[in-house]
Amino acid sequence: MSEESSTPTSASGVSLLALNMGLPANELVVNSKPTDKIVSALESSECQRLWVRGPGGVGRSTLGYDSIERLSGRTDGFLGALRVECWPGLRIEQVLWSIGEFLKQLGIELLYRVLHEQTTLATKMRLLLQIVRDHRVWIWLDDFENIEV
């Protein structure tokens, strides 16, 4: 089993953690090392975006579940985590509604209110990114590549 990881820097200078999981489809991730990396990244105030890449069947969703489980019940300002299952044909607006409902439950109602207004998709996305920067929440878009605009 091979795993490559890198910590590139975004254009804004914010650290990004990318885990490349170039594993054969029949070989699952069974050790805790990738989960440890994800949890460490999410605990860091410097990491605002995390990409876990790899072909289907290598354990990306399992890593997400394991990481959420390890972060649940925290009392250090981490507000919560949401998994949005992205199936083929899912529209970005549906994703935003799911995220807006989740954030509203956490007491962060701004996105939910804006979704009811006639604003551009770009405005809604900017607002979402600002909320994620300002609050310790994890929004996990599982199979992100399936989302349609």
Please, are residues 133 and 108 in contact by the beta-carbon 8 Å criterion? no
pLDDT digits (tens, 9 = 90+) for 45-99: 676 667 777 777 777 888 888 887 877 766 577 788 888 999 999 999 999 999 9
Distance, in Å, from the CA atom of 68 to the CA atom of 13, rounded to the nearest integer, reads 26
Q: Which two three-digit tokens encode residue 117? A: 């207004």
What was the pLDDT predicted at 15? 36
What was the pLDDT predicted at 82? 86
63-67: Cβ within 8 A, 24+ apart: 63/19, 63/29, 63/34, 63/35, 63/38, 64/38, 64/140, 64/142, 66/32, 66/35, 67/35, 67/38, 67/39, 67/42
Q: Which two three-digit tokens encode residue 53? A: 């890449």
Is the pLDDT higher at 45 or at 145?
A: 145
Strand 80-85 and strand 137-142: the pairing is: parallel
Report the predicted TM-score, pTM, of the whole model to 2 decimal places.
0.70
Binning pLDDT at 50, 70 and 90, where does residue 11 land? very low
Residue 80 pairs with which residues in a beta bridge?
A: 137
pLDDT digits (tens, 9 = 90+) for 109-137: 999 999 999 999 999 999 999 998 888 88
Strand 47-53 and strand 15-20: the pairing is: parallel
